[in-house]
A and B are shown apart, each in its own frame.
Chain A
Amino acid sequence: MTGPCTRCRTPLEDGDLRCAVCALPVSRALEPTQHARVQILRCTNCNAAIGFDPNARAPKCGFCSSTMQIEEPVDPVETAALRVPFGVPREAAVESVRDWLGKRGFFAPKALRDEAVLDTLQPLCWAAWIVDAQAQVAWTADSDAGSHRSAWAPHSGVAQLRFDAICVPATRGLDLEEARELTPYYELSRAVAVGAPGIPGETPAMIESFDAQRSAARRQVQRAIEATAKTRVEAFIPGRRYRNIHAACMLEGMTTHRVALPAWVVTYRYRDAVWRAIVHGQRRDVVVGKSPTDWAKVAVVVLISAVVLAAIAALILLTRK
């Protein structure tokens, strides 16, 4: 730890380029090379001048193709300090996917459950931040308090709120939507330290690295807190009914813990196309993912709807005449 940010009192972490909350740049210790505007680096293999190669993301020699050094990020990439253990074994995950495939709705192919072939089933602990913070929250909303001719009247206010254990996805392996759907179902109180002895019978799983700095994930953190704030400010809105709630948060004193959350990543094949589903690592009934659509069914429904609409239109016209 390098001490708190002077602007918002958020504790800074080693490697933060800027404060994770307010983006105040973190100054680096003075280094003698800081005054050099351009340096020419020479390859120690063939002595040719080396340039930064965007493809290699590192300085690379154009003559002998040596990558001079894999760019040492000034920001260290962190790994999770805590992990939530797996509670769903492999067999249960397979069964969950089969059940999920059988309940994909009317427009899914009828044979999906039986004909889908499971390609891979990988246990993975995906990366997330657990955030605690205080915030000044400015809000606006419509409510029935003070309404006149319209059922709604506008209101605004500012509240001081504290947020605890807000889970913010930091994964690149899962897409944001998948992560958002899985997040509410984790029991974070069961988290254990990474490296602590495993629970007997627990599935060993790969832990995803954090490839984004906490400071670089400011938008995700802000969005997650604002989504929670919209629910929390409901207590401050006068009246019995409300709508159109907007919240603007100014976070202060944010602390984060890096956590790895368990999930089964499943790829399945249906008639030559590959699809993906994710089974929650603690709740076997929570499965998210994508599945094929039976376009023949869609066409039939569209056709029937068109015929019904045409019949109704004809009926209206005939009655008018």
Chain B
Amino acid sequence: MGGSASAVRSAVTFTCGQCGAGLSFDGVRTQTCPYCASPNFVERPPAANQPDPMFAIPFAGDAAWAHARIAEWIGGRTVFARPAFKHAVVDEMRGVYLPAYLYSAVAHTDYTAQIGENYTETEEYETTDAQGNKKKETRTVTRTEYRPLSGRHIGYVTDVIVSASAGLPNDELERVEPYDMREMRRFAPALISGWITEEFSRAADACMRLSREEAVELVGERLRRFMPGDSYSDLSWRTKVQWETLDPMLVPVYVCALRYGEQEAPVRVVVNGQTGRITGKVPLSWWKILVAVIAGIAAIALIALIARHGK
């Protein structure tokens, strides 16, 4: 067993001329930006007024683990991908602590909706028998009665994470979420030792606006599950958020470029450094899609032909 830390010094800060990401690290060698693989990656002094992260979620897997997740991901996406994609090679994978903000609030929501309550009725209808005679029969039909409902929904909105990174926009981070918040730790320098950390490059105000939008959308999801009846329509709501908090934090991601052909642009892949969830834009093979569409149409036509012939 070793002892405690014996030396402490600051890391070096770099900025990417391509995507604008500012990254701090030491003990890690790279000549390209981990986000966009641009070689336009220059050293600069650390940015002023950087917020101190309050929390961090530690990496739960090493680079070999991330490679294995990517290999699985490629294997599961080769049906409509370009043939060369299944031989894609991972280029310069980096584990990066991404700057983000953690938002929470109290949400009071007033809603109105039309609630559909089903009921059954017996109705008469006219039919023709085998001999061509018209006769009346009855059948049971389900109808829906809509009733207005208004009310109040209350609750806390927690665990909303928005990206404060220039290199990785929020929608891309959303695609690798969620993080298991049970593993969240109070930020300590030892947690990020030896890893690349991006500086906070999006203003807290902008992140607050983004978080609020996510919070209102989250309330909408809850309301949709909150509605009684057999169905509903015209659901509208007005949410008032109070007691908002926005705290800087760091979340782990692996970022790499997948190269699958010399002439092709690399595909950027982002891996959740805790859960292994992956996002990336798979290059599609249009001829494979065309063949699948034609085969689908042919199958439908064949079934229709058999059904017609059967009659």
Residues of A within 8 A of B (CB): 7-8, 17-18, 21-25, 27-28, 33-45, 47, 49-55, 57, 59, 61, 64, 66-69, 71, 73-75, 136, 138, 140-142, 147-158, 212-213, 216-218, 244-246, 248-250
Contacts and interface: CB of A to CB of B under 8 A. Distances in A.
13 contacts: A18-B104, A22-B243, A25-B245, A38-B189, A40-B7, A41-B193, A49-B27, A57-B58, A68-B4, A74-B188, A150-B119, A150-B144, A246-B227
B185 A154 contact: no
A40 B104 contact: no
A28 B8 CA distance: 22
Given A39-B190, A66-B1, A248 B153 contact: yes
Contact of B26 (A38, A142, A149): A38
A138 B153 CA distance: 6
A248 B226 CA distance: 8
Interface stretch (B30-38, B83-91, B154-162): B154-162
A7 B106 contact: yes
A25 B247 contact: yes
B54 A40 contact: no
B128 interface: no
Residue of A43, A52, A74, A149 with highest tally of chain B CB at under 10 A: A52
A40 B8 CA distance: 5
Interface string B53-80: 0110011111001000000000000000
A142 B118 CA distance: 11
Contacts of A150: 117-119, 144-145
Contacts of A21: 156
A73 B227 CA distance: 42
Given A17-B186, A49-B27, A152 B229 contact: yes
Contacts of A69: 2-4, 190
Most chain A CB inside 10 Å of its own CB: which residue of B2, B50, B102, B147: B2
B150 A156 contact: yes
A40 B195 contact: no
A36 B189 contact: yes
Contacts of B153: 138, 248
Interface residues on B, range: 35 or more
Given A140-B226, A150-B119, A17 B184 contact: yes
Contacts of A54: 58-62, 65, 273
Contact of A25 (B54, B188, B226): B54
A150 B120 CA distance: 8
B6 interface: yes
B138 interface: no
Interface in B170-209: 181-182, 184-186, 188-195, 197
Nearest to B154: A250
A224 to B, nearest CB: 15
Given A216-B181, A250-B154, A38 B4 contact: no
B156 A142 contact: no
The 3 closest A-B pairs by CB, nearest first: A51-B194, A156-B151, A66-B2
Contacts of A138: 151-155, 226
A51 B27 contact: yes
B145 A67 contact: no
A22 B104 contact: yes
A246 B226 contact: yes
A8 B245 CA distance: 14
A38 B59 contact: no
A61 B147 CA distance: 67
B11 interface: yes
Contact of A52 (B1, B102, B192): B192
A16 to B, nearest CB: 11
Nearest to B222: A248
B193 A156 contact: no
Nearest to B219: A248
A82 to B, nearest CB: 23
A52 B188 CA distance: 11
A293 to B, nearest CB: 30
Contacts of B52: 34-35
A273 B284 CA distance: 44
B194 A52 contact: yes
A68 B185 contact: no
Contact of B62 (A23, A55, A246): A55
Interface in B1-24: 1-11, 24
Contact of A74 (B3, B186, B225): B186
Given A39-B189, A39-B190, A68-B5, A23 B182 contact: no
Contact of A250 (B11, B106, B119): B106
B225 to A, nearest CB: 7
Contact of A67 (B2, B184, B197, B227): B2
A314 B153 CA distance: 54
Most buried by B among A49, A66, A67: A49
A61 B2 CA distance: 8
A53 B195 CA distance: 10
A38 B187 CA distance: 11
Nearest to B143: A149
Contacts of B298: none
